[in-house]
Chains A and B, each alone.
Chain A
Amino acid sequence: QKEVEQDPGPLSVPEGAIVSLNCTYSNSAFQYFMWYRQYSRKGPELLMYTYSSGNKEDGRFTAQVDKSSKYISLFIRDSQPSDSATYLCAIRQGGKLIFGQGTELSVKP
């Protein structure tokens, strides 16, 4: 079993839709959870960061961690074509990040 599992998609939605991206992880000891966004032919950039359980909101983006079910989510409200990218969840284990496979999102105008 991989340490972090993520559905690779692709996921296509119309502009304005609410998008839900999800990951599951295997080790209940993980505490630090991140979402990275990667545009085509670019490096990943940190989008959101949460520690332990709960929600964190930043504009149209909400990150949610459910430690009881080892599930992390990223919600995008009022999605825009500029949100089209690959979204990677990541978990910190010591000095390294363990990434999910990434979900490719396309928001159609």
Chain B
Amino acid sequence: DTAVSQTPKYLVTQMGNDKSIKCEQNLGHDTMYWYKQDSKKFLKIMFSYNNKELIINETVPNRFSPKSPDKAHLNLHINSLELGDSAVYFCASSQDFAGELFFGEGSRLTVL
């Protein structure tokens, strides 16, 4: 039973489209995150939610909008996709603000 699961695993789309990635964790954790990993494997935080409340919002374009309907889910919606958005997006969760992070397997987004 996967602890942090993301869908879809692969996404290929055209520039200008809107797409969403979904994440669910069954660990009972309070905190969830979105990280972006670029083609050089550089992993950078985008957002963090604690108990459905946004607590970290790095300098991410406002085309990216996270939504946390409940503690176990954190979705990422991206509007007007650009070539530079091509990356692997990782969802993660932790028990609390300072706990160990558990990552999902990633959603590989390719924008053509």
Contacts and interface: CB of A to CB of B under 8 A. Distances in A.
A43 B103 contact: yes
B41 A96 contact: no
A44 B98 contact: no
A40 to B, nearest CB: 11
A42 interface: yes
Interface string B45-61: 10010100001101000
> Per DSSP, are chain A's interface residues mostly helix, strand or loop, or mixed?
strand
B4 interface: yes
Contacts of B31: 95
A44 B102 CA distance: 8
A95 B103 contact: no
A104 B41 contact: yes
A39 B19 CA distance: 26
A97 interface: yes
B72 to A, nearest CB: 17
Contacts of A42: 105-106
A102 B43 contact: yes
B100 A44 contact: no
Interface string A1-45: 000000010000000000000000000000000000010011111
Given A43-B105, A46-B100, 8 more contacts: A42-B106, A43-B92, A44-B101, A95-B31, A95-B55, A95-B98, A96-B45, A101-B40
Interface of B: 4, 31, 33, 40-45, 48, 50, 55-56, 58, 90, 92, 97-98, 100-106
